[in-house]
Structure 1
């Protein structure tokens, strides 16, 4: 889902358990433009993963250097909030977008067969944000991406996907390039707002169920996060949608504190074997039709 503008803090009606893309208004200054990409919330067991981009004209780079953008993790919350206001206060020169990937989407992708791991999901979010920026008519000539892993391959893939743009993919890009620092601020402020304003859909119409928001940092190693998880596991239904159910921390807790589950398809043959035909009288019937006692009906 795409939305034109995101408020500085999502309201109660914002469906934070879904994935969204938000865009600021398109800057009016002449191009060409540079763009930075960074994320917030890759490691936590709680909340969304947010990818952010920020962009400005090449001619604005000098002024951008003096605005104070940096790796959002090195900034206090008040400083990040102030810088986000700055990012939104230069509509003629500064633009930004964020992709909010909800916890359920992250885990569903990771649990698929074959799995869509976090690296793939991160790249897809980056591709989406760049495509949508270009679709707005922004002329991009330089893009800087903060990334982990094999940055050389990633840089090559981006260059092939978006010819005509010079890509620089590197670790700690948010501390090396101010435009990536600006993207880092957009991503971090958005994620923090999502966590702060999280609405537990699971409580709708049920006053007996309530979850507090003493999440801690959301990282699996945080004692406060560990306490919250242990205190809020529901034996039958598990956790609310704020939790990434594919994280090992969550799997272990469910095994220890939730009711055991036996899936109905455990021990069945593979799909190939399931649809193999039998022998003798069953030579025209596969295992599925035999087990379910399904037979052909002649239509006159």
Structure 2
């Protein structure tokens, strides 16, 4: 029996991509030996080590990133949960699995699982909150997604040649970077989720300041 775990990294940030990871295996004992757990409970060094071990040990794995710009575009007609579900389905469809374990973003796990099953030709889907702490195959997927997103953020730091922080609204470095960029340029920097409320407030404040100056 082949199991697939699917999870995301970067759902909440106002800067940078969201990345979905999927891992497929027929025996999760190898994942237990690696020591996988929820990626948020691991240090960057531990995640990097496990990323390499997972990629060398499992049957198949993949990641599906979506840019901030594409998130903004899709948010005009879809909820973030449905965007994430679409990405889950794309990742899970890459390789065959008998059962899919998904870290559920929806308050209604049964509904989320039912919709996923309908999109996956009836393959069994187990959708659960905190699935990355319950199922090793989901823990592994969370690690692949998190490391991939962290590497993408490293590329963005090189692109801007400045510290951009973690991308989260609560990160003062990220907030300061975006706010200064908006102040200096009148628009948000590339890779910013302009549909996020904190960014909308920054853009609105910049517009108000410009009108006052005029």
Both structures adopt the same fold (TM-score exceeding 0.5): yes
Give 1:106's aligned residue.
71
Give the whole-Å Cα distance in 1 for the aligned partners of 2:175 and 2:156: 19
User: Which structure 1 residue ranges, 4+ long, deviate > 4 Å from structure 2?
Assistant: 234-237
The Cα shift of 1:178 comes to 0.5
Give 2:130's aligned residue.
172
Structure 2 SS opposite 1:45: coil
Give 2:80's aligned residue.
118
Structure 2 SS opposite 1:132: coil
Give 1:278's aligned residue.
none
1:230-245 to 2 correspondences below 5 Å? 230-233=179-182, 237-245=186-194
Structure 2 SS opposite 1:186: helix
Count of aligned positions: 208
Give the whole-Å Cα distance in 1 for the aligned partners of 2:40 and 2:87: 21
Q: Report the TM-score when normalising by structure 2.
A: 0.90
The Cα shift of 1:165 comes to 2.5
Deviations 1:38-77, CA, capped at 9 Å, x for gaps: 00000010100001100112xx222322211111000000
Verify: 1:253 aligned to 2:202, yes or no. Answer: yes
- Say if 1:55 and 1:95, in contact at 8 Å, map to a contact too: yes
Verify: 1:219 aligned to 2:168, yes or no. Answer: yes
Shift in alpha-carbon separation, 1:215–1:127, aligned structure 2, 3 A: same
Residue of 102, 115, 133 corresponding to 1:145: 102
Give the whole-Å Cα distance in 2 for the aligned partners of 1:221 and 1:198: 19
Give the whole-Å Cα distance in 1 for the aligned partners of 2:176 and 2:108: 35
Give 1:35's aligned residue.
4
Structure 2 SS opposite 1:232: helix
Deviations 1:91-141, CA, capped at 9 Å, x for gaps: xx432111110000001111x2xx2121111011011112222xxxx3x11
Give the whole-Å Cα distance in 1 for the aligned partners of 2:78 and 2:184: 28
- Say if 1:141 and 1:164, in contact at 8 Å, map to a contact too: no
Give the whole-Å Cα distance in 2 for the aligned partners of 1:85 and 1:44: 25
Give 1:197's aligned residue.
155
Structure 2 SS opposite 1:227: helix
Deviations 1:158-177, CA, capped at 9 Å, x for gaps: 22333452221001000110
Structure 1 SS opposite 2:201: helix
The Cα shift of 1:198 comes to 1.8
Shift in alpha-carbon separation, 1:169–1:142, aligned structure 2, 3 A: same
Give the whole-Å Cα distance in 1 for the aligned partners of 2:74 and 2:184: 24
Give the whole-Å Cα distance in 1 for the aligned partners of 2:174 and 2:124: 41
Residue of 13, 18, 22 corresponding to 1:44: 13
Q: What stretches of structure 2 of length at least 5 have no aligned partner? A: none
1:4-153 to 2 correspondences below 5 Å? 32-57=1-26, 60-90=27-57, 93-110=58-75, 112=76, 115-133=77-95, 138=96, 140-148=97-105, 149-153=107-111
